[in-house]
């Protein structure tokens, strides 16, 4: 009998003791696969709604407890679906205690500091579930592709990121990192759809085409980046993203597993409220 797929089949091998423990090739993961789909019509949407309700209850406990923190990092090529993932996975979740942080090119003030300065200020507070739409990884990815970081500078940033995430973890933050993995053909179709639909023009930028011309450079940089920063406490997961609904299901399943592992509970009942009647 064929082995049933598991989420950890899509986890990037760990980086420990200065090296990746197993070889990693991004191209070995097919962006079009739907490993957790049973093929039934609307099955992904139904599963997503079911998980959404569970995440809502768990996130309420997280916020009420105000001790632990959760950080979801979403990375991916243009059109890979970071915005769509947030809408799809967290549609059922109460926004109280949920915060989305979009990272764009650094401002002049941000650029005058170390590259993690602006990121640390956005880390989740106690009781918060924070989503990074792009992240500190952009500050390695883009400068590398543009030739603005040499090998030593890039390796130093990987090391700083590992230490930064270790600091967050030591402070009670659970980190989930997902790279939304789409094919070049699927990106072409999604970019063309934005161009062809006037209501989507606001989502298109000429720089998207410039970045697409450097597809291979971005893919190879992602491959190195993922391998250098996937640690036992903050692993990377490569999420096949050609299917939007199945992409959302995989991220939702991962978040559900993570939240359930925290053993969240509501704070103890207040004895002072026992028997109190509102007049």
- DSSP-based three-state secondary structure for 236: strand
Write the pLDDT tens digit of every residue in 153-200.
999 999 999 999 999 999 999 999 999 999 999 999 999 999 999 999
Q: How many alpha carbons fall within 13 Å on the CB side of residue 9? A: 14
Does residue 172 contact residue 233 with C-beta atoms inside 8 Å? no
pTM for this predicted structure: 0.94
pLDDT of amino acid 205: 86
Write the pLDDT tens digit of every residue in 62-101.
999 999 999 999 999 999 999 999 999 999 998 889 999 9
Pair of tokens at residue 244: 């939007």
Q: What is the CB neighbour count within 10 angstroms for residue 207?
A: 10
pLDDT of amino acid 16: 78
pLDDT of amino acid 41: 75
Q: What structural domains and CATH numbers belong to the chain?
A: 7-17+29-261 (3.40.50.300)
């Amino acid at each position: 009998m064929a082995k049933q797929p598991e989420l950890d089949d899509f986890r990037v091998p760990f980086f420990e003791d200065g090296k990746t423990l197993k070889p990693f090739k991004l191209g070995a993961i097919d962006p079009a696969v739907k490993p957790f789909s049973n093929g039934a019509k609307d099955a992904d949407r139904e599963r997503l709604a079911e998980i959404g309700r569970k995440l809502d209850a768990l996130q309420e406990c997280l916020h009420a407890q105000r001790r632990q923190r959760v950080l979801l990092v979403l990375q991916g090529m243009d059109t890979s679906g970071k915005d769509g993932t947030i809408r799809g996975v967290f549609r059922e979740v109460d926004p109280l205690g949920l915060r989305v942080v979009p990272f764009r090119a650094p401002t002049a003030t941000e650029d005058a500091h170390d590259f993690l300065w602006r990121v640390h200020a956005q880390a989740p507070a106690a009781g918060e579930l924070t989503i990074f739409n792009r992240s500190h990884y952009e500050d390695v990815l883009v400068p590398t592709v543009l030739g603005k970081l040499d090998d030593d500078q890039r390796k130093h940033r990987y090391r700083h990121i590992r230490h930064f995430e270790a600091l967050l973890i030591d402070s009670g933050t659970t980190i989930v990192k997902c790279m939304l993995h789409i094919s070049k053909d699927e990106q072409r179709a999604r970019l063309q759809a934005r161009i062809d639909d006037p209501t989507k023009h606001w989502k298109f930028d000429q720089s998207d085409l410039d970045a697409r011309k450097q597809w291979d450079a971005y893919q190879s940089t992602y491959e190195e980046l993922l391998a250098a920063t996937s640690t036992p406490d903050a692993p990377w997961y490569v999420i096949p993203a050609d299917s939007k609904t199945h992409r959302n299901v995989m991220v939702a399943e991962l978040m559900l597993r993570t939240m359930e592992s925290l053993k969240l509970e509501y704070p103890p009942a207040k004895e002072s409220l026992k028997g109190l009647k509102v007049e």
